[in-house]
Chain A
């Protein structure tokens, strides 16, 4: 009886500790990612792909590594991580914006294609999950250390563009449909 009570108290304390640690980690993450200040406005289109590949490319890392300075290497890793996380935030914001615009248009539409809507929802979930996984991967390993991440990032960027295009086409079709009625 005393043993199981002790176990329960132990589990309870462990849960509180985990909650405190998670809160602290989240707070630290917010501190590590300062807002980009006046340059961060409303996102309307994805970052040009040549710049996305620059963020994830290894060529700048090879140049830095050749300088044989641990201090500069560390600074490079920190800086590239920050830029990559800004890109992830931008991509997530674009996906959410595209979906909310589509949802707004869908609410006004009278003949919704159920399968098409399910497909859009699936695409949205995949993209948001990808952003989430990439955030963890970047925070853990850094952008230049993940082989294939650059091409995956490129594809993700392209998918967001396609999603935006598809949603805009859907919005236009719905608007025309409404106008015709």
Chain B
């Protein structure tokens, strides 16, 4: 009984998270990065002040973990073409120079840190691999656009 009550509360916290914090973020990749950023690097626990204030800290942690995992599997299941669109949207939403963001992402590979724990190793590898490809494709497109701009 207590477990099912806890489950319902986690579901409510999860819905709250979707409606408030995540609804204002455009694109699944940005949502994934945001959710990964709520996780402590040392403990692996998720924390969100607003959610923890409305629910309990452990409930908020579970809701964040659930959302992180769901967004991850959703984005990992996208085709390469769709993922290129996602990465493009993310890069465009940044205030930094597009080329600079792509270059830094290619060098530092920050998307590796965005993986939830205990996800399937093949899915994780496929996601990392597809983001790497998406970045290479965007860089290529950017290069072509620059050449066209110089030519005209």
A positions within 8 Å CB-CB of B: 36-37, 39-41, 43, 45, 47-48, 50-52, 54-55, 59-60, 63-64, 67, 69, 71-72, 75-76, 79-80, 82-83, 86-87, 90
Which residues of B are found within 8 Å of A40, using beta-carbon distances? 121
The minimal Cβ–Cβ distance linking A147 to chain B, given in whole angstroms, is 20
Shortest distance from the beta carbon of B115 to any chain A beta carbon, whole Å: 6
Q: Does B119 contact A (CB under 8 A)?
A: yes
State A54–B127 Cα separation when bound (angstroms). 11
Number of B interface residues, CB 8 Å?
Answer: 23
- With A39-B124, A39-B125, A71-B140 given, is the CB distance from A51 to B76 under 8 Å? yes
**B80 x A39 contact (CB < 8 A):** no
A79 near B123 with CB under 8 A, answer no
Given contacts A64-B133, A71-B140, A72-B136, contact A51 B79 (CB under 8 A): no
Across the interface, A86 reaches (CB within 8 A) one of B77, B118, B125, B132, namely B125
Question: Can you list 26 A-B contacts with CB-CB less than 8 angstroms, sorted by A residue number?
Answer: A37-B112, A39-B115, A39-B121, A39-B124, A41-B121, A47-B120, A47-B121, A47-B122, A47-B123, A48-B123, A50-B77, A51-B76, A51-B122, A51-B123, A54-B77, A54-B79, A55-B126, A59-B79, A60-B79, A60-B80, A64-B80, A75-B136, A79-B133, A82-B125, A83-B129, A90-B121
- Which residues on the B side are within 8 Å of A87 (C-beta)? 122
Contact of A52 among B118, B119, B122 (CB under 8 A): B122
- The answer to whether A72 and B137 touch across the interface, beta carbons within 8 angstroms, is yes
Closest-CB distance, B103 to chain A (whole angstroms) = 16
Interface residues of B (CB under 8 A from A): 76-77, 79-81, 112, 115, 118-126, 129-130, 132-133, 136-137, 140
Q: B94 to nearest A CB, angstroms?
A: 23
Name which of B76, B77, B123 has the most chain A CB atoms within 10 A of its CB.
B123
Shortest CB–CB separation between residue B95 and chain A, in angstroms? 28
Known: A64-B133, A72-B137. A41 touches B118 (CB 8 A): yes
Choose from B76, B118, B132 the contact partner of A79 (Cβ within 8 Å).
B132
